[in-house]
Amino acid sequence: MRIRKEVSPWNGKMFIRITLIVFVIYNGLMLLAKTLDGDALFSLSYTWIFNCIIQPLVFASIFTNASRKMTLFINDFQNIDSFEDKLNTNILNKGMSANQGDDNTAHYVATGWFYKLFNHWDRTETVSVKWGTEVVIEGSSRIISQVEDSLTWNKVFKS
């Protein structure tokens, strides 16, 4: 079995959205904590700069990098018994649920509430599998990298 992987470019819109959400929530909590402590609300300090500006940027870059689309191409899988069933079971074990598809395509959607939120925004938490002479798995890099590791190291997928 031969496996080839392609990673999509970084999503700038997702980065801005996550940065703004984390910035608003985190700064709101920081202002609430300062108000309850009786401190001056807008006193500038190094910890405030780190916690309220740099931390949202770091969180957003980590999540944006993790939510990139990845495509996995699998060739020479025909000698493995019931490869389609094994791959389907493997994807379902990664926290996905099967969605409607046709004979040559299968679609999977994330089941966790956190991943469903981001799935509604940019369809980042879906996985599609196209069957043919070459199997093409496309979706979230979080899931696709786990599937790639399973295909590479799991004895079930060895011929």
**Alpha-carbon span 20 to 111, nearest angstrom:** 25
pLDDT on residue 136: 94
pLDDT on residue 37: 80
pLDDT on residue 20: 92
Cα dist from 11 to 66, 68, 113, 125, 142, whole Å = 10, 7, 21, 14, 15
8 A C-beta contact, residue 82 and residue 49: no
Considering 10-14, 39-43, 96-100, 132-136, the range whose residues carry the highest mean pLDDT is 132-136
pTM of the model: 0.71
Mean residue pLDDT of the chain comes to 83
pLDDT digits (tens, 9 = 90+) for 61-106: 988 887 788 999 998 887 778 888 888 888 888 888 888 778 889 8
Domain boundaries, the chain: 2-7+69-157, 12-65
Helix, strand, or coil here: 3? strand
In the block, residue with structure tokens 């009786």 = 38
pLDDT digits (tens, 9 = 90+) for 38-56: 777 666 667 777 777 888 8
With the CA atoms of 140, 143, 147 and 150 taken in that order, what torsion angle do they form, in degrees rounded to the nearest 10? 150
8 A C-beta contact, residue 126 and residue 142: no
